[in-house]
Amino acid sequence: MSMNITFPDGTVKQFSEYSTGKDIAMSISEGLARNALGIFVNDIPYDLSRPISQDATIRIVTWNDDEGKQIFWHSTAHLMAEALEALYPGVKFGIGPSIEAGFYYDIDLPNGMKISVEDLPKIEQKMKELVKADSPFIRKEISWEDAMAYFTEKGDEYKLELLDGLKDSEITFYSQGGFTDLCRGTHVPSTGTLKYPKLLSVAGAYWRGDSSRNQLTRIYGIAFPKKDQLEEFIKMREEAEKRDHRKIGKELELFMISPMIGGGLPIWLPNGTVIRRTLEDFLRKEQVKRGYQEVITPHIGRLQLYKTSGHYPYYADSQFTPIAVDDEEYLLKPMNCPHHHQIYASKPRSYRDLPVRLSEFGTVYRYEQSGELNGLSRVRGFTQDDAHIYCTEDQLRHEIKQVIEITQKVFTTFGMDVSTRLSFRDDNPDKYGGELEHWERAQKEIKDVADEMQLEYFIGLGEAAFYGPKIDFIVRDAIGRKWQLGTVQVDYVMPERFQLEYTGADNSKHRPVIIHRAPFGSMERFLSILIEHYAGNFPFWISPIQISILPISDEQHGYAQELTALFESKGYRVKTDLRNEKISRKVAESEQKKIPYALVLGKREQELRQVSVREHGVGDLGAKSLEEIEALFASLMID
C-alpha cells in the first residue's frame, strides 16, 4: 500500500504506508534528515519516528523554524527532568513547557531540599552526560487507568491531578533513558540532539498559578544545537543584563516601585515622567493630524459593563476582585474600550458623523501574581495609548491603513525593525464571539490592506482576540530581541453586545465596525523596552535632561545662567552645574547621567560667545558658536 504525501510547495509524492517523518526527510536529503526536529502531518505535530498511515500534507521543521525551536526546547525540559530525577531522588514534576525563548519545569523537591542558582552548574553537567548517552525519545500511547496507576505508584500528585482532567483524552507517555513523563509531545529524535543546554535561573511558582496551592521551584533554561549559538546567546544575555531597565531606571531616577504602595504599581519619577509625557505628546500630535478626539474615563466601572463586553468572566482570573459599593459591584477598569463604547452610544450618530475616533491614555488594572511582576514590563497598573475608531464597513479598509501608518511611524521613529503577524481565528468556535461571516470579512480586509501596503507578515491562526482578528506588530530592538508591541484589532462583536448604531444614508439603523488600536501598547512596557533598546542613552528629543551647562569657574556663572535662560526659552531641558567642583568631575557626572550634550564654558568661550561641546558617548566636538549649537539642537528634535 502507498500513500500520497503533499509537500509545502504543492508537490505530491508517493510513500509506503507507515513511512515516518525520518523516511520522508531522508528521501529529500541526508542533510534535512540530520537537521529535522519534527514533522507536521495535516497541521498536527508528529515525532519523526511516528508512522504516517494515510494521505497527508506535511511540513518538516528544523531549528530555523519557530516550531522546531519549541520542539527542541520542550525536549530539553525533559532532559533536565531526567537529570533532576537522578540527582534528587523523589522529586515530583508539575509542568515543563517550552516558552518564547527556552523552557522551564516546575518541580517539588523532597524532604525540604532547595535548589539555588549555585546548584545549576551541577544539574547542567548531568544534562550534558545524558546528551552523550544519546537516548531516543520513545512515545507510548497508554490507557488512562494505566497512567493513573503509574503515577499513583510514584506518588506524584501533580501528574495525577493533570490526568484527572484528561479522562476523555488520548494519553501518551514519553521516555528517554530512565525517565518517563506524561506528555503530548512532540520531541526530537534523541537526547544527543540537545548538545548545548544552559540553565538560567530559579524562581518560585504556585502550582497551576493558584496562590493557595503549593509553591514549587521553577527552573528556567535554554538549549542550542551549536556551540556558537550558545555563545552568542550568552553574549546577548550579558548585554541585556547591562541594559536591564530596572537597573538603568534606578540609576537615571526614572521610576520606582514602593512596597508601601504595592508591587506592580510603578511610580514615575520626574525624569521618567518627562520621557513618558514627551512620548504622549508625540502621539497626540499625530492623532490630532488624523482627526482623533481625546477623552478621559474613570478608573473603575460597574461590573455589568464588563459582563456586557465579555471581558468578565472571559478574563476573570487576570482581574482584581469586584468591589461592593451601595449594593452594586464595581471593577477596577481592566480595559478602556467598554467606556469608549458608552461615549459613542451617548448620542445619536449618523453616517455623516463617521468615522468617530476616540483616544485616551487610559490607566487599567490587571491582577498579576507577585512572582510574575518585573519592573515596568509586568505590572498591575498600566496606561494604554488606546483608541477606538467607529466606522462604516465601507470606511474600514481606509481606517485600517491609517492606523497601520501611525503605528509604523512610532516604531520607525525609534529605529526598531518591525515585522507583522496577522492574528486570525482557528477552527475552535468556542473561543470566539460574533458571526463567522463578519470574521471572514474582517480577516479579508486586514489581509488585503497588508498586501496593498506590502507588509512583511505571517499569519498566526488561533492568535485572534475573542471579538475579532488583529494585526500584531513585532519589533526587533538594538540587540536583536523581538517584542510584540502595538496592535490593531477589527471588531464586529462589541457593536452587537452594546447595541451601537448609526443612521445610514437609507435612513435605516446600522452597526458600526470598531477598530481597537494601541501603537505603544502600554506606556510602561514600551518604556521598559525603550530603556533597554537605548541602554538609557536616549535620543536628544526624549532625554529627560538634554543639555548640561558646565562653567569652569565662578567667572562663567553669569554666562552659564544666560545660556540656561536662552535654551529653556526655546523649550529645551537644561541642567546647569554651578558647584565649586573641578570641570573633569562635572563632565564625568554628566556622562554618568547620560545627558546627550555637555556645554563647557571657560574664559575663552565666554569672550568669543561660544561653547565647548561634548557629546555623550562620543567626546569632545570642539568649540561652536551659539548659532551652530542652536541649529544642532533644533535638528535633533522631532516635529
Please tell me the distance from the alpha carbon of residue 144 to that of residue 152, in angstroms, as a whole number: 12
Please tell me the distance from the alpha carbon of residue 58 to that of residue 21, in angstroms, as a whole number: 9
Q: Which of 50, 366, 525, 616 is catalytic?
A: 366
Can 384 be counted among the known catalytic residues? Answer: yes
**Residue type at position 224:** F
Can 337 be counted among the known catalytic residues? Answer: yes
Can 388 be counted among the known catalytic residues? Answer: yes
Q: 4-21: string of b/e by CB count within 10 Å (b at 16+)?
A: ebeeeeeeeeebeeebbb
Beta-carbon count within 10 A of 174 CB: 21
Closest C-alpha among 363, 186, 376, 151 to residue 263: 376
Q: What 3 state SS string does 401-436 have? A: HHHHHHHHHHHHHCCCEEEEEEEECCCCHHHCCCCH
How many residues are present in the chain?
639
Q: Which of 74, 139, 159, 388 is catalytic?
A: 388
Q: What are the cell numbers at 600?
A: 563647557
List, in sequence order, every residue forming a beta bridge with 208; answer none if it has no partner.
none
Can 533 be counted among the known catalytic residues? Answer: no
Residues 6 or more apart whose CB falls under 8 angstroms from that of 238 comprise none
Q: Are strands 179-182 and 356-365 parallel, antiparallel or unpaired?
A: unpaired
Q: Which of 70, 276, 337, 586 is catalytic?
A: 337
Please tell me the distance from the alpha carbon of residue 471 to that of residue 421, in angstroms, as a whole number: 6
Residue linked to cell 467598554 = 338
Can 366 be counted among the known catalytic residues? Answer: yes
CB 79 within 8 A of CB 191: yes
**Residue type at position 410:** V
Q: What CA–CA distances, in Å, run from 440 to 283, 467, 516?
A: 31, 13, 18
Q: What 8-state DSSP symbol labels residue 93? A: E
Can 470 be counted among the known catalytic residues? Answer: yes
Q: What CA–CA distances, in Å, run from 337 to 385, 445, 446?
A: 11, 22, 20
Q: What 8-state DSSP symbol labels residue 169? A: S
Beta-carbon count within 10 A of 354 CB: 21
Please tell me the distance from the alpha carbon of residue 289 to that of residue 169, in angstroms, as a whole number: 55
Q: Which of 385, 386, 472, 491 is catalytic?
A: 386
Q: What 3 state SS string does 547-590 have? A: EEEEECCHHHHHHHHHHHHHHHHCCCCEEECCCCCCHHHHHHHH
Closest C-alpha among 344, 347, 385, 379 to residue 365: 379
User: What is the Cα 44 distance to its own chain's centre?
Assistant: 26
Burial status of residue 118 (CB atoms within 10 A of its CB: 0-12, 13-18, 19 or more): exposed
Can 386 be counted among the known catalytic residues? Answer: yes
Q: Which of 384, 402, 606, 610 is catalytic?
A: 384
| Four-CA torsion 591, 595, 596, 597, nearest 10 degrees | -80
Please tell me the distance from the alpha carbon of residue 516 to that of residue 486, in angstroms, as a whole number: 11
Q: Which of 516, 533, 594, 614 is catalytic?
A: 516
Positions marked catalytic = 337, 366, 384, 386, 388, 470, 516
